[in-house]
Structure 1
Amino acid sequence: MDSGEVLAAHHPHGRQRPASLIKVLLALVVLDELDPEQIVVPTQRDADQECSCADLEAGSPYSVRDLLLATMVKSGNDAAHALAGALGGVDEALRKMNALAHELGATDTRAASPSGLDGPGMVTSAYDQALLFTHAMTNPQFAEAAGVQRMMFPGGRGEPPHPLVNNDRLLDEYPGILGGKTGFTSASRHTYVGAAERDGRRIAVVLLRAEQRPVQVSDQARSLFDYGFRLAAEGVPAVGRVTTAPPQPQAPVRTGEARADGGGTAEAADARPAGSGGSSAVGWIVALVILVSVGVGVGIALSRDERV
C-alpha cells in the first residue's frame, strides 16, 4: 500500500457489482464534506432501507460520526441513506461519489446507490476498489472506522445504545489486519476489500464476485494476504501499479491509422481494455504494495446474511 505495486491480479478491470464496498466511496465524500459532529435526523425512508441496518429511528438525532461508524461497522444501509441525505439527497450524493471516483482515476466505477444495494449501472472493478480503499486509508478517521470491530450505537427516542458488531471476521482473526469492508447482494455475490501489515509492509486485498466455496471466503482472503506478503518478501516483480492519478486522454486516431508509439492500429488499441496484457497495460495499471484478486470461488463476505 506504500509503493503502489500490484503483486498479483486476475481480471483487475473486470466490471462487477460492488455491493457494500461502494460505502468506501460514500465515506470519502462524507469525510470531505461533513463535520463529524454535525447532527443528522433520518427520515422514515432512511429507516426503511433494506437491511443490513443499524436500526435507525426516524426523527431521532445522530451525529455524522456515529452514522459513518454504523455504515462501516454494521454496513448499515439506513445509515448510508441518511448520510446521503445530509450530502444533499441521494441524487446529489451519487453525483459527488461518481465525480470523486473519476477524479481519483477509478474510471471503472459508477455508484447507483449510496449503500451498495443494486441499481441500474452499478459497477466497479478490483483495480478501482484497491485504489479507493488505499486512498481512504490515508484518512485517519476512515482508517479508524475501518478497523472497528464493535461499537455502541445510540438508541432512538431516548432508548439505550445497542451494540453493532462488524461482520469482518479477519478483524479478530488475522494478525496485523488494519481494516476492511465486506459486502453481499444476490447480484454481486460476496465482495471484500481489506488491508493488513506485516514486517513493515502493508498490503491490500480485493475480492469481487466470490462464493463461500471451496472454503469460506474469510479463509480465502487470509490465504491471499499470506500469498501477498510472501511475494513481497521474495521481491517478486510487480505486474502493475495502482495510482490515484486518472489516465491521461490520448489524441484521437483515425481507424486503421498507425499509432505513433508503434502500438499497431487504432482499432487494435481501442479494442484492448485498460489493464489487459502487454506493456501498455503497465502504462496505467499504475499505487501501493497491493494484491488484487477477483474470481469465481475467490472472495470474502465475512457475513452470513449481509444484504450489502
Structure 2
Amino acid sequence: MSIRDFHLRTALCLGAALTIAAVTGGATAAPAPATPPSSTTTTPFSTPNTDGCPQKIRPPAPIDESEVPSPGEPTPSALPVPSPPLGGARMGECGVVIPKGAPPVPQDISATAWLVSDLDTGEVLAAKDPHGRYRPASTIKVLLATVALRKLDLNKVVTGTQEDANVDGTKVGIGPGGRYTNRQLMQALIMASGNDAAHAIAAQLGGDAGAVAQMNELAKSLHALDTRTASPSGLDGPGMSTSAYDLTVLFREAMSIPLFAELVHTEEVDFPGYPKSPENPDDKDHPGFPIGNDNHLLYEYEGAIGGKTGFTDDARQTFVAAAERDGRRLAVTLLKADVKPLRPFLQAARLLDYGFALPKGADVGQLPDSSTKPSKTGAVLASPPPKDTDQEVQASAEDNDRSGTRTLLVVGGIVLVLALLLGARRRNKSRY
C-alpha cells in the first residue's frame, strides 16, 4: 500500500468514526488522552432524605432576599407544631410513609415532600415528610381561588390597572383599561397562574393584605396549621409556609366548588385584550388571545381531573393535582421538587400510579373531615398543550442541544469524507 493510499484510508476511517459516534450518541470508544482530565464525576440522583425531620419547624433557608420583612415589619415567628400530629400518628413521621406490606415507592422522585390521598374519602395512601414545612409558590392560588369563588360576583366586570400589569412573576396579560369579568380573572388565575389576575382579585378582597388575611383564616379553619400565606399569588414572602398534608387539604376543599373543578380541567379559553394607551400615540389596541392550562398532567395522564403548578427560586417546583381511575379519585401533592430526573407532572403520574395500585383500605393517615364532597367533572381527556412552560423549555433545551451536537458531528463527518475523496481525486489527476 502506498503512503498516499494509507493516508487516504486513515482519513476515511476518521470521517466514518465521527459519523458513527454522532449517530450512536458517542458510544464508540475514543483514544485515551495523553493527559488525564480533571475530575468531572457526576453525583447520581437520589431522593432528598428527610428522615431527620429537617423541616419540622420551618421551610429551608431562602436563597434570596424575598423573605426579608419590609422596614418596620417584624420577622414572623415559626408556626406552632401541633401535637399529636394532624391526620394520625404516622403523619408525624418525616421519611417515606407507606402501608404495611406495600411495595417500595417509585425511585425517580425529586420532590422533597409529597402525599397521595383519596380525594373523596380523605384517606392518606402514602406520603413523604407529610407535615414538613415548605413554600407553596403558585399552588397557594388554590387557597385564593377558594376565598374568591365564595365571595365575589363572577359576573362583575373589573377594569385592569397599570398596577395589575406591573406585578412580578408570571402574568396572563392583563392591561390597563381592559375589561374582565371575575370569571375570566379566575380562569387566568387557575389555568395560566397569572399573578396579575391574583392582584386584580385581591384588590376586591381588601388588597393584598386583606386577601392574605382571609386566606390564612380559611387555612386555619380547615386545620391546615402548617400553612401561612405571605402573598396572594404565591410569590415568596416573610413567613410563607405550607406542607404536603396542608396543600392536599386546601386542594380538596377547592375541589368541592364545582366551578373550581371545572376550571382546573379546562384546556383553553379566550381572554380579552385591552385598549391602546392614550398616553402613547404609537400604541395600538391589544387584541384578545387564547390562554391554555399550564398543567401538563391534564394532557398526558389518562383520567387526569386537573391541578395547579407552581415555581419560585426558593420554593422550587410545586404541584398538586388529581386523577380518576375505575371510579376512584386520587390527589397528589409535590413540594420542593426539581425538573430532573423527571418533570414534576411525570413524578406526579408515577405516584398516582402507585396509589391506584394499592388496595382500597390501605392507608397511613386521614385528612380532616369535609362537610362537602368534591364534584366530579365528567370531562374527557384533553389534547396536548401548544407549548411548554418556561421550566420545561429549559429542561428540553438540553435535549435539543445534545441532538444538535449529534447532527453537527454527522454532517462534519460526511463533509470530511467527501472533501478527502475530492482531494485524493485531484492529486491522482495531477500525477497522471
Please list, as runs of the form range in 1=range in 2, the aligned pairs for 1:288-307 lying within 5 A after superposition: 303-305=389-391
User: Amino acid of the residue matched to residue 367 of structure 2?
Assistant: V
User: Amino acid of the residue matched to residue 164 of structure 1?
Assistant: I
Q: 2:149 aligns to what?
A: 31
Q: How many residues align?
A: 250
Q: 2:352 aligns to what?
A: 225
Q: 2:128 aligns to what?
A: 10
The structure-2 alpha-carbon separation of the partners of 1:65 and 1:38, relative to structure 1 and needing over 3 Å to count, comes to same
Determine helix, strand or coil for the equivalent of 1:196: strand
Whether the 8 Å contact between 1:40 and 1:86 is mirrored in structure 2 is: no
Deviations, residues 24-58 of structure 1 (Å, cap 9, x unaligned): 00000101100110122232121111231111012
Q: Which moved more, 1:147-156 or 1:173-182?
A: 147-156
Segments of structure 2 that go 5 or more residues without pairing to the other structure are: 1-118, 276-284, 375-387, 393-432
Q: CA RMSD in A?
A: 1.7
Structure 1 Cα separation of the partners of residues 389 and 369 of structure 2: 30
Once the 2 structures are TM-superposed, how far is the Cα of residue 181 of structure 1 from its aligned partner?
A: 0.1
Q: 1:238 aligns to what?
A: 363
Segments of structure 1 that go 5 or more residues without pairing to the other structure are: 246-286, 289-301
Q: 2:238 aligns to what?
A: 120
Determine helix, strand or coil for the equivalent of 1:115: coil
If you compute each CA radius of gyration, which structure gives the higher value, 1 or 2?
A: 2
Once the 2 structures are TM-superposed, how far is the Cα of residue 236 of structure 1 from its aligned partner?
A: 5.4
Aligned identity (percent) is 51
With structure 2 as the length reference, what TM-score do the two structures score? Answer: 0.56
Determine helix, strand or coil for the equivalent of 1:116: coil
Q: 2:297 aligns with which of 170, 189, 203?
A: 170
Please list, as runs of the form range in 1=range in 2, the aligned pairs for 1:170-249 lying within 5 A after superposition: 170-231=297-358, 234-235=359-360, 237-244=362-369
Q: 2:412 aligns to what?
A: none
User: Amino acid of the residue matched to residue 185 of structure 1?
Assistant: T
Once the 2 structures are TM-superposed, how far is the Cα of residue 63 of structure 1 from its aligned partner?
A: 0.7
Q: Runs (4+) of structure 1 moved beyond 4 Å?
A: none
Q: 2:60 aligns to what?
A: none
Structure 2 Cα separation of the partners of residues 49 and 220 of structure 1: 30
Whether the 8 Å contact between 1:113 and 1:119 is mirrored in structure 2 is: yes
Q: 2:268 aligns to what?
A: 150
Whether the 8 Å contact between 2:164 and 2:197 is mirrored in structure 1 is: yes
Whether the 8 Å contact between 1:150 and 1:164 is mirrored in structure 2 is: yes
The structure-2 alpha-carbon separation of the partners of 1:4 and 1:55, relative to structure 1 and needing over 3 Å to count, comes to same
Deviations, residues 46-89 of structure 1 (Å, cap 9, x unaligned): 11112311110123221100001000111000001110001121
Structure 1 Cα separation of the partners of residues 155 and 206 of structure 2: 17
Deviations, residues 224-280 of structure 1 (Å, cap 9, x unaligned): 11111011xx235210001157xxxxxxxxxxxxxxxxxxxxxxxxxxxxxxxxxxx
Structure 2 Cα separation of the partners of residues 226 and 18 of structure 1: 24
With structure 1 as the length reference, what TM-score do the two structures score? Answer: 0.78
Q: 1:66 aligns to what?
A: 184
User: Amino acid of the residue matched to residue 317 of structure 2?
Assistant: H
Once the 2 structures are TM-superposed, how far is the Cα of residue 167 of structure 1 from its aligned partner?
A: 1.8
